[in-house]
């Protein structure tokens, strides 16, 4: 295994071993993963024995380390690079292999049939982007196939239609964006996706590309080189529509006249930390009648990762028992919120699981429950009965 070249390629020499990366790493507190120490090894030892570091698969690619590094070293990129070497030698967790194979064969990590990709639409009117449109809506694999997340996509379609936007989707031709593929170290497959998806997206001629998932947003915006196309997360687009007065949420609270509920918001890592979109999701929540936005102590730049990124949706990591999502839902409950709002399909799934496992969906002493909802589901409520 050649790790030496990586030291130069990633400019690890900039590292001053300050410890802010491992210090801020949410996973380092529950497994032996220590990226600071790994960088040190790369700097002073000629080679790193990658196979001995099973914990490389623990990283969620939340990029807190990258955000904190005072020397512009990108610690998480080292993990991605080392994973790449494991991928090359085939030494990867079986579930990761299955996800990658699913993407290669069917264009989605769940290995679901490509022809079922548009089934989520369920009779609704969604234009085909191939006919030409201003806004291309990239639905994403999880919202397209996962029953829990499909309503998020439907709610966005309803909202964009209500605002009179000219938009469309790629239907069954849409494929995985590859954001997690790159982070799992499968560079070859990622490059193939960038080429194929990039060509298809450009051929539509849309001026804007909107995504359900912050993960898709991240790679389209930062890694695809779609220079002429403005890549947006749905929270940015919906906040803009609210600002322009194109959405009518009425004056009645979404839970009925005079009923307010405390809602707290969890910043997804790929939306907040990595793309600095903090205000738009909050602006949407504050525009919804009946919502009282309350903040967790750890918000915005200090949001706690839900452990769903970087391929972790398909690999448990080395510490199955302690989950960051468990900790996070308790933090949400402590605010007194009844609803934990999210803006990411992965966060929606991991946090909802955690709420159930931790029993927070059952009434506490004060008769209060915690429910995880995507912001789009709240917007859907605000738009009233269809």
Partner 1 sequence: MESQPRIGVYICHCGVNIAATVDVEQVAEFAATLPGVVVSRDYLYMCSDPGQGLIQQDIEEQGLNRVVVASCSPRMHEPTFRGAAQQVGLNPYRLEMANIREQCSWVHADRERATEKAKELVASVVAKAALLEPLEEREVGVTPGAVVVGGGIAGMVAALDLADAGFPVYLVEKSDYLGGRVAELNRTFPTLESVAELLGPLVERVQSHSNITVLLNSQVTGVEGYVGNFEVQISDTQSSVSNVQSGAIIIATGYDVFDPHRKPELGYGQYPNVITSLEMEQRLAEGDLTLNGHAPKSVAFIQCVGSRDAQVGNEYCSRVCCMYTAKQSHQVRELLPEADVTVFYIDVRTFGKGAEEFYDEARAKGVRYRKGNISEIHRCKRSDRGNGSDRVVLVGEDTLLGQPIDFEADLVVLAVGMESRADVTDLSTLLKLPRSTDGFFLEIHPKLRPVDTAVDGVFLAGCCQGPKDIPDTVAQAKAAAASALIPLLRGVVPVISETAVVDSEMCAGCGMCVEVCPYGAPALDSLWNVSRINAVLCKGCGACAVTCPSKAIRLQHFTSEQILAQVDALVGD
Q: How near is the Cβ of 187 to partner 1 at its closest, in Å?
A: 27
Q: Count of CB atoms within 10 A of residue 109's CB?
A: 24
Question: Where along the sequence are the contacts to partner 1 (CB under 8 A)?
Answer: 16-25, 28-29, 34, 36-37, 64, 67-72, 297-298, 300-302
**How far is it, in rounded angstroms, from Cα 167 to Cα 337?**
35
Q: 169 or 327: whose CB is closer to partner 1?
A: 327
* Closest distance to partner 1 from the beta carbon of 62 (Å): 13
In the complex with partner 1, the residue whose CB is nearer, 18 or 119, is 18
How near is the Cβ of 328 to partner 1 at its closest, in Å?
A: 13
CA distance 130 to 127: 9
Q: Which is nearer to partner 1, 19 or 205 (CB)?
A: 19
37 vs 358 by CB, closer to partner 1: 37
Could you give the C-alpha distances from 243 to 27, 69, 237, 278, 287, in angstroms and in order?
Answer: 38, 35, 10, 16, 9
Least distance to partner 1, CB of residue 300, Å: 7
SS3 167: strand
Minimum Å gap between C-beta 4 and partner 1 is 23
CB of 81 to partner 1, least distance (A): 21
Which contacts qualify for 194-201: CB closer than 8 Å, 24 or more apart?
194/219, 194/223, 194/224, 197/224, 198/224, 198/225, 198/226, 200/170, 200/173, 201/136, 201/138, 201/170, 201/226, 201/229
Residue among 64 and 108 whose Cβ is closer to partner 1:
64
Choice between 23 and 384, CB closer to partner 1: 23
Taking the least distance from each CB to partner 1, the nearer of 65 and 351 is 65
- Between CA 119 and CA 124, with CA 121 as vertex, the angle to 5 degrees is 140
Q: Between 267 and 377, name the residue whose CB sits nearer to partner 1.
A: 267
Contacts 24+ apart (CB under 8 A), 87-94: 87/184, 87/185, 87/186, 87/187, 89/1, 89/51, 91/51, 92/57, 92/184, 92/185, 93/57, 93/314, 93/315
Quote the least distance from Cβ 20 to partner 1, whole Å.
4
DSSP state for residue 303 in the 8-state scheme: P
Answer for the pair 371, 340: CB distance below 8 angstroms, yes or no. yes
Task: Give the position of tokens 């609704």.
Answer: 124
Q: CB nearer to partner 1: give 19 or 132.
A: 19
Whose CA is closest to 92, among 62, 63, 61, 51?
51
- CB 15 to partner 1: min, Å: 11
Listed in sequence order, the DSSP H helices in 244-278 are none
Say if CB 66 and CB 35 are below 8 A apart.
Answer: no
Q: Which is nearer to partner 1, 182 or 273 (CB)?
A: 273
Structure tokens of 197? 């998806």
Evaluate the CA torsion angle 334, 337, 339, 343 in order and state its sign.
negative
In angstroms, the CA 282 to CA 145 distance is 27
Rounded least distance, CB 359 to partner 1, Å: 19
Residue 45 beta carbon to partner 1: minimum distance, rounded to whole angstroms: 15
């Amino acid at each position: 295994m050649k790790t030496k070249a990586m030291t130069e390629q990633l400019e690890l020499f900039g590292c001053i071993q300050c410890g802010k990366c491992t210090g801020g790493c949410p996973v380092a507190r529950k497994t032996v993963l220590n990226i600071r120490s790994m960088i040190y090894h790369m700097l002073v030892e000629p080679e790193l024995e990658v196979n001995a570091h099973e914990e490389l698969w623990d990283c969620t690619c939340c990029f807190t380390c990258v955000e904190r590094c005072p020397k512009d070293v990108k610690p998480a990129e080292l993990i991605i690079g080392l994973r790449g070497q494991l991928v090359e030698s085939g030494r990867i967790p079986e579930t990761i292999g299955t996800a990658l194979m699913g993407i290669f064969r069917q264009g989605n990590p769940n290995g679901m049939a490509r022809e079922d990709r548009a089934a989520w639409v369920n009779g609704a009117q969604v234009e085909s982007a191939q006919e030409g449109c201003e806004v291309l809506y990239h639905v994403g694999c999880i919202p397209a196939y996962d029953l829990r997340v499909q309503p998020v996509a439907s709610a966005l379609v309803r909202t964009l239609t209500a605002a009179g936007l000219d938009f469309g989707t790629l239907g069954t031709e849409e494929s995985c964006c590859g954001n997690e593929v790159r982070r799992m170290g499968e560079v070859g497959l990622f490059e193939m996706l960038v080429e194929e998806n990039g060509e298809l997206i450009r051929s539509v001629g849309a001026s804007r590309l909107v995504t359900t998932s912050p993960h898709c947003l991240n790679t389209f915006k930062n890694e695809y080189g779609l220079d002429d196309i403005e890549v947006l997360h749905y929270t940015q687009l919906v906040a803009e529509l609210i600002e322009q007065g194109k959405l009518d949420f009425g004056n009645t609270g979404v839970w009925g006249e005079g009923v307010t509920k405390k809602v707290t918001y969890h910043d997804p890592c790929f939306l907040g930390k990595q793309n600095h979109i903090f205000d738009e999701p909050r602006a949407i929540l504050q525009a919804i009648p009946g919502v009282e936005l309350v903040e967790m102590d750890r918000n915005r730049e200090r949001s706690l990762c839900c452990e769903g990124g970087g391929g972790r949706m398909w690999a448990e990591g080395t510490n199955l028992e302690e989950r960051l999502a468990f900790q996070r839902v308790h933090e949400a409950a402590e605010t007194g919120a009844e609803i934990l709002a999210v803006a990411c399909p992965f966060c929606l799934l991991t946090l909802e699981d955690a709420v159930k496992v931790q029993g927070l969906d059952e009434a506490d002493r004060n008769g209060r429950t915690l429910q995880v909802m995507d912001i789009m589901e709240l917007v859907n409520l605000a738009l009233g009965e269809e």
